[in-house]
Amino acid sequence: MNRDSGMVDEQSAASDPASEARLAQEAFASYAAPLVGHATELAAAAREDASPEALHQLRVSLRRLRSLWWAFEPLLEKNENARQRALFQYLANAAGKTRDWDIAIELLTQQDSGASDIVPKLQEARGIALATSRETLSNADVKHLLRDVLANTSRELNTAHERVPLRKFATQRVDASARSLKKCMKRARHAKRSDYAAFHDVRKAGKKLRYLVEFFEPALEGGCKRTLKRLVEIQKRFGALNDVVASEELLHENAALFAGAGDTDAALQWLHKERKRRIRAAAKLLR
């Protein structure tokens, strides 16, 4: 990996020798096919499994697919690639609606939140969201949809005239993602604490870079352990902040649902206080 990324500073003895000769176009399916298979299995399981973890793992899998398609964007037709990534985002959002309610319930059942009286309403809303998520994913026919996207993208790559060595391509894409993260961190470092959008951009950029490093690690020249450790910590802290912000938004957007159900103001006050605490924790990683 190019050290211009500023993220990697140790050599790896685990680089795949075969990656020297591999082409990016030929390697695509080896990355994409397992992800598509896993997402298909999770979508099928989500129809039967109402647990928070099932839909969470489906959303993560779809986000990883979106990042992989972003990585191969320079080798693909731009508009079609954007459409495919939008599809992954749509499906991830469908799964994520229920997950957002799960997070809110988990947060507001904490003893000091003062919001235990509105939890039944949260659980009721979660049940409605689950039914909607399942219907959306079922109507989308995730299995055939993802397989078609995989087949079309693989065909486009395999019939293209341009051929790029995997190691060169992977290094360029990881470095591009790393530069994006550094820019986002710089903006967030100088942003007001009330500017959540700047912090949210760090979270998204860090998550994308983590996925790309995980995809391409065997093909990269530099070691990635310290990089991944750093990215996991960024994702953890900025993700914890996002959980609180998303829960605040849910309560505001569904205020009518909680009318007469309990002290919503107490819940919002606790979430606001928790947001400040988590912003401070996330900001420490920007130094």
- The residue ranking higher by pLDDT, 139 or 71, is 71
Average model confidence (pLDDT) for the chain? 87
- pTM for the whole structure: 0.86
Q: Going from the N-terminus, what domains does the chain have, and what CATH number goes with each?
A: 24-286 (1.40.20.10)
Rounded Cα distance between 23 and 168, Å, is 9
pLDDT at 2 exceeding the cut of 70: no
Reduced to 3 states, what is the DSSP secondary structure of residue 165? strand
For 65-108, write each residue's pLDDT tens digit. 999 999 999 999 999 999 999 999 999 998 888 889 999 999 98
For 20-48, write each residue's pLDDT tens digit. 578 999 999 999 999 999 999 999 888 88
Say if CB 35 and CB 84 are below 8 A apart: no
For 234-263, write each residue's pLDDT tens digit. 999 999 999 999 999 999 888 888 776 667
Q: How far is CA 109 from CA 55, 61, 183, 270, in A?
A: 20, 28, 37, 12
**Lowest mean pLDDT segment, chosen from 8-17, 116-125, 209-218, 246-255:** 8-17
pLDDT at 7 exceeding the cut of 50: no
Say if CB 236 and CB 15 are below 8 A apart: no
State which of 107-121, 134-148, 172-186, 188-202 shows the largest mean pLDDT.
Answer: 172-186
